[in-house]
Chain A
Amino acid sequence: MKYKPNETRESEKGDFTVNRRRLLQAGGALIALPFISSKIANATSKALVSPSVARREERIVQTCSTFDCGGKCDVRVHLSQGTVTRISTRPDSALDEQMPVMRACVRGRAYRQFVYHPNRLKYPMLRVGKRGEGKFKRISWDEATTLIAEQMKRIGDTYGPAARFAHVATGVSGGSFSGDKMLKRLLNLTGGYLGYYHSVSMGNTAAATPYTYGVAASGSSLDTLSETKLVILWGHNPTETIFGHTNYFYKKMKENGTRFIVVDPRYSDTATSYADQWIPLLPTTDNAMMDAMMYVIVTENLHDKAFIERHTLGFDEQNMPEGVPANESLVAYLTGVKDGVVKTPEWAEKITKVPAQTIRQLARDYATTKPAALIQGWGPQRHICGERTARASTLLATITGNVGVKGGWAGGYGGIASRKFMTGIVQPQNPVKATISIMNWMQAVEDASKVRPEDGLKNADKLDTNIKMIFSLAGNYLANQNPDINKTIKLLEDESKVEFIVASDLFLTPSAKYADLLLPETSFMERWNIGETWGTGSYFMLSEKVIEPDFERRSDYEWLREVAAKMGVEAAFSEGRDEKQWVEYIVEQTRVTRPEENLPTFEQLQVQRQHLFKSAPHVAFEKNITDPQNNPFTTPSGKIEIFSKRLYDMQNPEIPALSHYVPATEGPEDKLIEKYPLQLITWKGKHRANSTQYANPWLQEVEPQTLWINPQDAKNRQIVQGDEVQIYNDRGVSRVPVEITSRIMPGVVAMRSGAWWNPDKDGVDRGGCANVLTSTRMTALAKGNSHQTLLVEVKKA
């Protein structure tokens, strides 16, 4: 078949004409940099010292970033006369294959522009205009810490300690000794605060996975996949997200001949690097494809009967829990006994837009390749139906016997039980017992009486007070990363609701604009900490203070300690330790709790820089499978629960006992699609960690913010390459340049997440921040976020 070449394809003749201009054209989107304002470009050259490698006398320090980035990669800082002059990374000779540390990625290589950026906050500042207007005046640290102490006391005394709230802090929460932990310590010591649960990154899958296995930690160490013949990456994009050292192992597997299939509406960079096959499907329809795969596997007799019989509950009618009526089993569901709908690939084709034959072949490949690993990323579970999708991957793994075997993968959340971490600081008890989902915080600001247990409130029947004080430490979740920004800022702007907002950050982020008191935080190069990786990596790395903070920048701990003194709890708060001593304390505590690890002392660590927790390869649930009598699963039945009686008893159509497809609100089967015919998804661009490093000019050059749209959808809207477009729904409007590409499937548009919201005078976002369009809708089971599920329309601006 002949396809129409898309915009980045070469000449019609097939051969490249010898011409530099055409080469540039091929990378046209890379050449045009509409977002790089001259202001930033000028700032770049000023920000840099201009050393030549040959002239320098330098000291090289191995360190790592400690904001919430997935890698904790090896970053080597070249220091000359107290200034960072260059960054390098781990050489091949320092690679330990048993627990590899990744070389710094593009973000790690750009840190000089982050640390020396001229727009970094410099002094403590107090708001002078209306809240959110972004007008501040400089004050002293003494005034700032006095004010915080007074407000903490006043608000605690007036409304009760539950009126005090510490918001998500991804900019500081990636290290063992983080500002957010120490803030919570201070709050605990002064009466308490309203805590939250749920992770917006992976909270839905973490809540759903235990209904199958009893626990959430369903991941195996990646070294167990070395001989796996087939890997299906389902909404998993480690190449751009940087997920610990995943890429190291995937590359080795690729070289060993492992076949990779990538299921994703978008042809991600992970697909570019690894995919032998790319299967795009409509967002929120994952369950339909998974149901059809299970139908093929079961009806073609490809399921692992012995495994199912021995280890599972709920596969067919013969093996159901007590007290459940007939026709609720998986087989009954798949064959349509209950609802009359047979879950054939032809049924799923119409829902997913994936050809039936492709689904059929994928099911056969997965079921007949032994072992095979269906690895699900955290993108699909960030949908309104994400809990069901997470559980469906566990069911697929189960019926094919890929659970508990080397080279298989159990699906679901994927966290690895064998990983080791530092022993953290001991938190004093929080006198406030109630906790809310992070998705409840706006309601708790507006009217706390509406946050009931059925809405997500835990450990209490009701909340006694609205949130009146918010701390946001390097946390762009206050406005920017929170869904439905336009709704969020209305709440924040109302000074009668939240009475005092403290933000500490490196930059005036869109969230920091809503501060009453704005504090200039240090970067990881200007403070002591310990970095611990995400994903599958298991090691820690010293993050040393390598440069002195400029201007009046202070680490969160320093000013918190001053506030503690003004509130009369300094001794209990600091235990006499400065920042470096706390890091030393954490290292020493971990040495005590993990004697078998033979950890370096703090002195040794300053030479050794890192410690690799090396463990034997870990296959999740291996013991439960090899010796089920002595190692039952921690579910009520002691088995893998394909059918969950616990979910069944909730009697909520959004929480089926099996994992099956339910059309999503604001999905492709919602009537709203007539008004807003495109599904928008976001992805984590390689050039920032969530919204951190947004302001880095080198990284803006790497990937300018654009909307990806398929050529067919662009053509239908008379949109051509380079056009500015408006993306809109009832919640807001964002305006960015378009990128027409067949790397996104028809019917779906995509933007990089984490861009900074930048409203013009009409309220139209010019920054490409998808959260002016996302909804605050909560998932049924986890009371979690659904950032990925939304409908929009796109038109030429």
Chain B
Amino acid sequence: MTNFVEFKPVSDKQLGFFIDSSLCSSCKACQVACKDKNDLEVGRRFRRIYSLTGGGFIDNGSGAYQNNVYSYNLSIACNHCDDPACVKNCPTTAMHKREGDGIVRVNTDKCIGCGYCSWSCPYGAPQMNKQTGQMSKCDFCVDLQAQGEPPVCVATCPLGAIKFGPIEELRKQYGVLSEVRGLPSSAITKPNLVIKAHSGAEEGVTNHA
């Protein structure tokens, strides 16, 4: 068991992430910086990059290949949802959504490690800490935010493809898209996530050769 440390709300508005999937190269610096900051062993990744590839090759009739291949990446952590399935399914109230900033955290003083949160989250955010037998997840780097610093993933991205802030402001600036091919329907948990889609995520795209 780890000692649960509480922090005051770091914002009076719901926080969220913006992911520029059109730019993300899957460099995974965010994934590893998150592991470094949270001391995560191999297998546990609070932030994960999903690569989606589609399209293929056909012979053009002259022996050459025509292709419509596309590939894009989605860097996904916890979306600190408005309607978090993990919180709803937690039998001990350990998994909770904070007032104010809306960050979803696990209170490890209460968590019994049953794993229901993990199974109910469509994004795979809660992950078992096998050493403690309790759940663990992205806490939006609430400790860094309490010191006025950005979450480590945001401060890491070499191309600036991850941003964070009050979700309403992100939506004003970047739009309201929170699901693209590769992500679950946003209707399930109402994620606080804004995505700029890669051209490959659009239906019927044939932009090569």
Known contacts: A8-B51, A273-B25. The answer to whether A280 contacts B67 by CB under 8 A is: yes
Contact A269 B25 (CB under 8 A): yes
Contact A24 B124 (CB under 8 A): yes
* Chain A hits for B203, CB < 8 A: 14
Contact A278 B67 (CB under 8 A): yes
Known contacts: A103-B158, A106-B31, A272-B26. The answer to whether A23 contacts B36 by CB under 8 A is: no
Q: Report if B37 contacts A (CB, 8 A).
A: yes
Q: Which residue of B lies closest to A24 (CB)?
A: B124
* Chain A hits for B42, CB < 8 A: 33, 36, 40-41, 44, 697-698, 700-701
Give A740-775 as 1s and 0s: 1 = Cβ < 8 Å from B's Cβ atoms. Answer: 011101100000000000000000000000000000
Q: Which of B8-16, B103-111, B176-184 contacts A (4 or more CB under 8 A)?
A: B176-184
Known contacts: A33-B43, A273-B23, A710-B57. The answer to whether A8 contacts B63 by CB under 8 A is: no
Instruction: Give the distance in Å from the alpha carbon of A704 to the alpha carbon of B54 in the complex.
Output: 21
Q: Report if B65 contacts A (CB, 8 A).
A: yes
Q: Which residue of A lies closest to B186 (CB)?
A: A18
* Chain B hits for A698, CB < 8 A: 32, 35-36, 42
The range of chain B's interface size is 35 or more
Known contacts: A267-B71, A271-B71. The answer to whether A41 contacts B29 by CB under 8 A is: no
Q: Report if A355 contacts B (CB, 8 A).
A: yes
* Distance in Å: Cβ of B59 to nearest Cβ of chain A: 9
Instruction: Give the distance in Å from the alpha carbon of A372 to the alpha carbon of B126 in the complex.
Output: 48
Instruction: Give the distance in Å from the alpha carbon of A51 to the alpha carbon of B49 in the complex.
Output: 25
* Chain B hits for A44, CB < 8 A: 41-42
Contact A54 B143 (CB under 8 A): yes
Q: Which of A83-91, A126-134, A600-608 contacts B (4 or more CB under 8 A)?
A: A83-91
Instruction: Give the distance in Å from the alpha carbon of A495 to the alpha carbon of B167 in the complex.
Output: 67
Q: Report if B173 contacts A (CB, 8 A).
A: no
Contact A356 B143 (CB under 8 A): no
* Chain A hits for B25, CB < 8 A: 239-240, 247, 269-270, 272-273
Q: Report if B94 contacts A (CB, 8 A).
A: no
Instruction: Give the distance in Å from the alpha carbon of A711 to the alpha carbon of B5 in the complex.
Output: 50
Contact B28 A349 (CB under 8 A): no
Contact B32 A110 (CB under 8 A): yes
Contact B159 A86 (CB under 8 A): no
Contact B121 A6 (CB under 8 A): no
Contact A350 B62 (CB under 8 A): yes
Contact B23 A746 (CB under 8 A): no
Q: Report if A182 contacts B (CB, 8 A).
A: no
Give B178-209 as 1s and 0s: 1 = Cβ < 8 Å from A's Cβ atoms. Answer: 01011111001000000000100001001111
Instruction: Give the distance in Å from the alpha carbon of A10 to the alpha carbon of B180 in the complex.
Output: 11
Partner of A355, one of B50, B62, B141: B62
Known contacts: A23-B123, A269-B26. The answer to whether A745 contacts B67 by CB under 8 A is: yes
Contact A742 B67 (CB under 8 A): yes
* Chain A hits for B160, CB < 8 A: 92, 251
Q: Report if B128 contacts A (CB, 8 A).
A: no
Partner of B208, one of A240, A254, A278, A352: A278
Contact B62 A349 (CB under 8 A): yes
Contact B49 A358 (CB under 8 A): no
Instruction: Give the distance in Å from the alpha carbon of A479 to the alpha carbon of B131 in the complex.
Output: 39
Q: Which residue of A lies closest to B26 (CB)?
A: A269
* Distance in Å: Cβ of B67 to nearest Cβ of chain A: 7
Instruction: Give the distance in Å from the alpha carbon of A51 to the alpha carbon of B184 in the complex.
Output: 35
The chain B residues found within 8 Å of chain A, CB to CB, are: 5, 23-29, 31-33, 35-37, 39, 41-43, 45, 48-58, 60, 62-69, 71-73, 119, 121-124, 131, 141, 143-144, 146-147, 152, 155-160, 179, 181-185, 188, 198, 203, 206-209
Q: What would be 30 A-B contacts, judged by CB atoms less than 8 Å apart?
A: A1-B58, A5-B56, A6-B55, A8-B54, A10-B182, A16-B183, A24-B124, A26-B50, A27-B49, A27-B51, A27-B52, A33-B42, A53-B37, A53-B144, A103-B156, A104-B158, A106-B29, A109-B32, A267-B53, A272-B73, A273-B23, A273-B24, A277-B208, A278-B209, A353-B65, A355-B60, A698-B42, A742-B67, A743-B53, A746-B65
Q: A105-B158, A353-B63 are in contact. List 19 more A-B contacts (CB 8 A).
A: A6-B55, A9-B54, A16-B183, A23-B182, A23-B184, A33-B43, A41-B43, A53-B143, A54-B5, A54-B147, A87-B33, A89-B156, A103-B156, A106-B28, A239-B27, A240-B25, A353-B65, A355-B66, A699-B32
